[in-house]
Structure 1
C-alpha cells in the first residue's frame, strides 16, 4: 500500500440485512418505472463540489444456480476541495457481498467486514482525522448506501464489489437480474430518519444516464440450455456448447443503465436431466450437482415409496410436543397411497417397531399404526442413536425409494454423532 503525506487510507465494509419496517412496493401509477442510481455530495455548494459517475460495468458468472457478480464503478472529484459523498446504488435482493476494493489514485484499499456499529464508528474516526475512508451499508434489501470521505480534488476512484446470488427457477425459467436503477419506494409508514433516501432523485422514463454501462454474462448451466432471452436490452448470445453461453451487450446499449438488466433462460429436455460442475480450490475441492426434473414425470417414472417414521416418545415429549407429533403423523400416514409401504419405530430409552419389515399402506395397517401412536403418553430417556441404527437396519424392499421421517423435540446431546450416522 502506497502512502501519501498526511493521508492514510482506511476502508470499512459493513453489511446488515435489515427487515423492512413496513410495506414497500413500486408506485402503482405506472410512472417512473425506469430509474437510475445517483450520487449525493455532502456540500453547501453543489456547483463547486462535483463527483460525477464516469462508468459502470458488471460481469456475472453463472455456474448452475449460483451467480457470481463483479461490479466496477468509476467516478472522479471534479471540484476544488476534499469532499464526502453518499452514493446510492442497487444490488441484488438476494445479494451476499463478499468482496469490496477501492482504488483512489495510486492507493488500493481492501475492505474488511465489520458489525454495522463498529464500522460506522471507525469510519467517523477516520474521517475526523483526515484519512480517506469508505463505508458501505445496506439500507434496504436491494439498495446499498456507500459513504466516501475525504475525496481529494482530481481523485479518480475505482470501486469494485463482488457478490453472489442464488437463482431459483419459476415455471422452469431461470431469471438473472442485475438492478441498475434505484427508484422511489412506497411506504405506508412515516419515514424513519435513517430512511430519508426513500425520496431520492431518479431519472424520468426515457432519460439516458450520463455514465456508460457495460454488462457481460458467462453462463455455465451444467445441463443443456434450450432458450436464452434478454427482454430488457439488446444483446449478443454466443453458445459455447450445449451447456454454456456468453452474453454481451450490443454497442447500442452503452447508455442502458436506465433500466434493470434481465436475462432469462430455460433448460432443455422433457426427461429428468442432471449435470455436474467441478471446481478445484487451493485447499479443498467443490462440486455442484444439478438435477432438472420435468414439469410432471410419467407415473411409470415414479418409484414406489417406502416411509420409515421414527417417533420420539420420551419424557420431554409428554404433552404438547407429543400431541403435535400425533397430529403430524396422522396427516402423513393417513395420506399414504395404496402402492406405498411404511413402518413406525417408537423410541425413548428403548425402541419398538410396528413390524420387523415395512408393511403395505392398506387401510387396516394405517389404522393399526395410528392406534399405536395415539396410545403413547411420553416417558423415559431419549436414545436417538440406537433408534436410528435400528431404523437403518430394517430390510429395504427391492425397487422402493426410502424416506425416513424423524419426529422429535431435538432435546439430545448427540447431534454431531447423529449427523455422522445419517
Structure 2
C-alpha cells in the first residue's frame, strides 16, 4: 500500500506537470509561425529602431469575361526609414490562379520582370543584391503561395507593385463566385521558425493589436462581361454600388465607407439568367501575329474557349436515366475502420437510388469481380443483395486499380443511360501512368467520382483521379461523415441534363485541345473546352448529346465568337497543361525529371510563374554604393473578428510601434467545466507541494507513478475536450415548407435573414413552398453521454430545450446514451 508521503510526492510532481501545461502551450506557440492569406511586405531586420515600411494603398481591377477573371493588383508602399532595405512581398492566390506578369516601380523607374528558370533567377537576384543594384524576384513556393523579394530600396523610396493573374471561375449551384483575399490570418506550423526551410520563412510576421483597422486604403472595381444575360450580382463581404451597362455586363464598385475594408476577403457572386442549356465561344489571337503577320509557331498560336452552361433547374423530362458502377477497394489496407466506413457509405449511396436507375458493384484487390454481368435495376431486392455482398467483405490481398478500371471501361454499356463510375478507396494505391491516362481518355464513356476513405487518406491521389475524370473528390475521414458526404454526392449528381456528349469541329481547325473527352453536364457544373486553332476564325462547332430521352444538338458559328480582351485563355490553357504535368510529377517518380522539364518549358514559353520558373527584374545602375542593407518587419492587420489569441508566436504591435509577444491564451481550460473534479487534485497538490518542500529526493518508483498520473490527467483532458464539441460552419439545404417565411427560417437556424438572401441571391424576402435554399449555419452533432439531460446540453450550448426538441423532432424530454443531437 502506498504511504501518504508517496502520494504527496506524486501529487507534487503532478502539480508541476499541470502548472507547466500553460507554459508548454506558450512554448509550442513560440515555435509555430504565422499564416498569410493575402499580400504583404515582410522586411527583414536586426535593428529594432529601423522605421516601418507601411502599405499606403491597395487597388484592384477585376475583369471577368465569361468564366475567366483577369486581375490587376496595385499596391503602394513607402520606405519611411533612414536605411536601405530588402523587402519580401508575400501574397496568396487560389490554386487556379495563373500569375503571368509583374512590375515594380521605384521612384521614376519601372522594372518589368522577365521569366527565368528558378535557380538561375535566384542566382541573378543574389548577384545584383551584392552589387548594390535594385532587383526584384518573384517565386512560387506552393500552388497558392507566392513570394516577391526586392533588394536595395533606398530611404524615402515610394514603391508601386503591380501584378497580373488570371483564374477560371466555375459555378456551384449555378452561382459564380470571385474572391480576392485581403486578410492576413495566423498560421501554425510544427516546424520552429529557426529550423524552417527557406521556402517556409515567409510565414512569420508581426500583427497589429486586435481591433486596429488597417492604416492603408483599399479599393476594388469589378467588371463582369458574362457573355450571357446576368440575373443578379451581389457582394457578400463589403458595401458596394452595382450598375448594369446592359443585360450581360455589370459593374461593382466599393462604396467610400469601405475605404479601410482591407481586413477581410472581398467576395462577389453572380447568377446567369435562363433555364435552357446556353453556350458561348471566346477567341484570342496572339498580338504578334495580328500586328506583324509573323508566321512563326509562337506568334501564330491562337486559342479558343467554349463553354456550355446547363439550366439552373432542369425539368424532370430533362433528367436521363442513370447507371452507377461502384468500384470498391476491399484490399488489406482497407481492413477494419476504412472498410466499415465504406460499407456505411455504400449503403447510403445504393440504398437511395431511384427505381429508374441501374447499378453494379465491382470489388477489387489483387483481383476483381463484378457483382452482375450486366447492370441491375435499382429494385429493393437487388439493392438488398448488393448490400449483403458488401457486408460480407473483410479486406485482404493486394491493391490493383488499373485492371479494375480497364474491366469497368470495357463493361457493356446500357443504352441511353448516363454512366458514372464511383471509386471508393483509401488511396493507398500504386496508380500506373496508364491508369491515370485511361481515366482522362475515356470521359466520353463515363464520369468518375472518387471517395477517399479513412483517417489518413491519400488526398493527392483522390483529388487527382477526380480531376482526371472531370468529377468531384469526396473525403470521408470518420463514420459520422458518411451520411453527409453521401447526401452531398446525391445532390451533386442527381441532375445530369446532357449525356453522351460529342464535340465536332467543321471548317474550324483545332489542335492541342485540353480536354478531348467531355463528361456529362450536371446542373451544378458547366462544360468548358479550350484549345488552340489555326487559320481564320470560321466554320462551326457542333455539340451533340442526349437530353432525357431526346437527342440534343447545338451549333455555334465561329465567326460570331467574341474576340475582345480574351488574352486570359492563353494562360488558362497553359496552366491546365502545367497542372496535368504536375500531377504526373507527383504520382510517377520514375519520370519526375521529364515532367519538371515540361513544366519549366511551359512556364518559360507562356510567361507563367510555376514551381520551377520565376520572374526577375534588375535595374542597370548601382543605387546602393555602400552595400549596407537592413530590414524590418511590416506589421499586418488581424482579420476582422479574429482574436489576438490566434497569433501564437508572432508579434503584436500598435501604431506607436510598441512590440509585445501574444502568448497562447490560458482561457482554454474554461470549457472543461463538466470535469470540475480534475481541479480538486490540482488544488490539493498545490497545498501538499508547499507543505512537503525540502522533503527529499524522489525515487524511480515514484517517478513511474508520476508518469501514470500524468497519463491519466492527459486522458481526462482529452475526454473533457471531446465531451462538448465546438460548432463549425456547415452549408445545408432547406426545402421551404408551407407557412414558412424568411424570418421564421432564420430564427429556426439561428442565422440572419440577410445571410439567407445573400447566399441564395434573393432580390426580396419572399420564399415559396418547395423552394430549395442553401444556408450557412453553425452546426454540431452531439452524442449523448451518461448523465446528460436536455437541460444540461441546452445550458452549455446556450439554447433552449424547446429549440433542441424542434431541431431533433423530440416529443419527450428523455435522452438515450449514444443518441445524436443536432444543434445549431
Query: Given the two structures, how large is their TM-score scaled by the length of structure 1?
Result: 0.64
Pair 1:368–1:161, CA change in 2 (3 A): same
Paired residues for 1:141-290 under 5 Å: 146-152=148-154, 157-165=159-167, 174-180=176-182, 182=184, 185=186, 192=193, 194=201, 196-200=204-208, 204-205=212-213, 209=216, 214-230=219-235, 235-249=240-254, 252=256, 255-256=259-260, 260=264, 262-269=266-273, 271=275, 274-280=278-284, 282=286, 283-287=301-305, 289=307
Q: Cα deviations across residues 240-298 of structure 1 (Å, max 9, x unaligned)? A: 43232233456x5795565557353331558465443524354252425354664x766
Q: Cα deviations across residues 327-369 of structure 1 (Å, max 9, x unaligned)? A: 4655543443323222456789998765555332223333445
Is contact 1:176-1:264 (8 Å) kept? yes
State whether structure 2 residue 108 is matched by structure 1 residue 108: no
Q: Cα deviations across residues 175-197 of structure 1 (Å, max 9, x unaligned)? A: 43434565x74979998465552
Paired residues for 1:30-45 under 5 Å: none
Q: Measure, in 1, the Cα distance between the counterparts of 2:246 and 2:143.
A: 36
State whether structure 2 residue 420 is matched by structure 1 residue 403: yes
Q: Cα deviations across residues 51-94 of structure 1 (Å, max 9, x unaligned)? A: 67665432112244543311123456677x77115366765566
Partner of 1:394: 413
Is contact 2:52-2:79 (8 Å) kept? yes
Pair 1:200–1:92, CA change in 2 (3 A): farther
Paired residues for 1:128-147 under 5 Å: 128-136=130-138, 146-147=148-149
Larger deviation, residues 124-133 vs 171-180:
171-180
Q: Measure, in 1, the Cα distance between the counterparts of 2:41 and 2:438.
A: 53
Partner of 2:85: 84
Q: Measure, in 2, the Cα distance between the counterparts of 1:249 and 1:380.
A: 55
* RMSD (Å) for aligned C-alpha atoms: 5.4
Pair 1:277–1:46, CA change in 2 (3 A): farther
State whether structure 2 residue 441 is matched by structure 1 residue 420: yes
Pair 1:383–1:196, CA change in 2 (3 A): closer
Partner of 2:129: 127
Paired residues for 1:293-312 under 5 Å: 294=312, 301-309=318-326
Q: Cα deviations across residues 199-258 of structure 1 (Å, max 9, x unaligned)? A: 3579934x864x6x54321213354322223466665534243232233456x5795565
Pair 1:203–1:275, CA change in 2 (3 A): farther
Pair 1:191–1:225, CA change in 2 (3 A): farther
Larger deviation, residues 319-328 vs 159-168:
319-328
Q: Measure, in 2, the Cα distance between the counterparts of 1:350 and 1:181.
A: 51
Pair 1:77–1:308, CA change in 2 (3 A): closer
Q: Cα deviations across residues 5-60 of structure 1 (Å, max 9, x unaligned)? A: xxxxxxxxxxxxxxx9589799xxxxxxxx9967868596979x786766543211
SS of 1:204's equivalent in the other structure is coil
Q: State the 1:304 CA deviation.
A: 2.8
Is contact 1:233-1:256 (8 Å) kept? no
Q: State the 1:156 CA deviation.
A: 5.2
Paired residues for 1:284-363 under 5 Å: 284-287=302-305, 289=307, 291=309, 294=312, 301-309=318-326, 319-320=332-333, 324=339, 327=343, 332-344=349-361, 357-363=374-380
Q: Measure, in 2, the Cα distance between the counterparts of 1:191 and 1:348.
A: 42
Is contact 1:101-1:111 (8 Å) kept? no
SS of 1:333's equivalent in the other structure is helix
SS of 1:303's equivalent in the other structure is coil
Is contact 1:123-1:133 (8 Å) kept? yes
SS of 2:359's equivalent in the other structure is strand
Q: Measure, in 1, the Cα distance between the counterparts of 2:93 and 2:440.
A: 34
SS of 1:337's equivalent in the other structure is coil
Pair 1:261–1:113, CA change in 2 (3 A): farther
Larger strand proportion, structure 1 or 2?
1
Query: Given the two structures, how large is their TM-score scaled by the length of structure 2?
Result: 0.37
Q: Measure, in 2, the Cα distance between the counterparts of 1:44 and 1:23.
A: 21
Is contact 1:180-1:258 (8 Å) kept? yes
Q: Measure, in 2, the Cα distance between the counterparts of 1:108 and 1:140.
A: 25
Is contact 1:322-1:378 (8 Å) kept? no
Partner of 1:6: none
State whether structure 2 residue 89 is matched by structure 1 residue 69: no
Partner of 2:5: none
- Where does the alignment leave 5 or more consecutive residues of structure 2 unmatched? 1-30, 195-200, 287-300, 444-824
Q: Measure, in 1, the Cα distance between the counterparts of 2:408 and 2:187.
A: 52
Q: Measure, in 2, the Cα distance between the counterparts of 1:95 and 1:383.
A: 32
SS of 1:197's equivalent in the other structure is coil
Q: State the 1:122 CA deviation.
A: 5.8
Partner of 1:364: 381
Question: RCO higher in 1 or 2 (8 Å CA, sep ≥ 6)?
Answer: 2
SS of 2:441's equivalent in the other structure is helix
Pair 1:238–1:340, CA change in 2 (3 A): same
Q: Measure, in 2, the Cα distance between the counterparts of 1:351 and 1:37.
A: 53
SS of 1:414's equivalent in the other structure is helix
Pair 1:86–1:64, CA change in 2 (3 A): same
Q: Measure, in 2, the Cα distance between the counterparts of 1:268 and 1:148.
A: 43
Is contact 1:100-1:160 (8 Å) kept? yes
